[in-house]
Amino acid sequence: MLDILYRDDHLIAIHKPSGLLVHRSPIAAQDERFAVQLLRDQIGQRVYPAHRLDRGTSGVLLFALDQATAGIIGKQFEAQQVGKRYLAIVRGHPPVQGIIDHPLRRKLDPVEYNRGIGHGGRDTRLPEDDDIDPESGTLAEGAAGLPARTRFRTLAHAELPYPVDRYPSSRYALVALAPETGRRHQLRRHLKHLSHPIIGDATYGKGRHNRLFQTLFNSHRLLLACVGLRLTHPHSAQPIIIDCPISPDFANVINQLGWSCHVNTLSMSFDS
Radius of gyration of the chain (CA): 19
* Helix, strand, coil percentages in the chain from 3-state DSSP, rounded to 5: 25, 30, 45
The DSSP secondary structure of 72-120, one letter per residue, reads: HHHHHHHTT-SEEEEEEEEES---SEEEEE--BPPPPPHHHHHTTTTTT
Clarify whether 66 is annotated catalytic.
Answer: no
The SS3 call for residue 161 is: coil
Candidates 104, 52, 89; CA nearest to 177 is 89
**Catalytically annotated residue among 54, 130, 131, 249:** 54
Q: Point out the residues that are catalytic.
A: 54
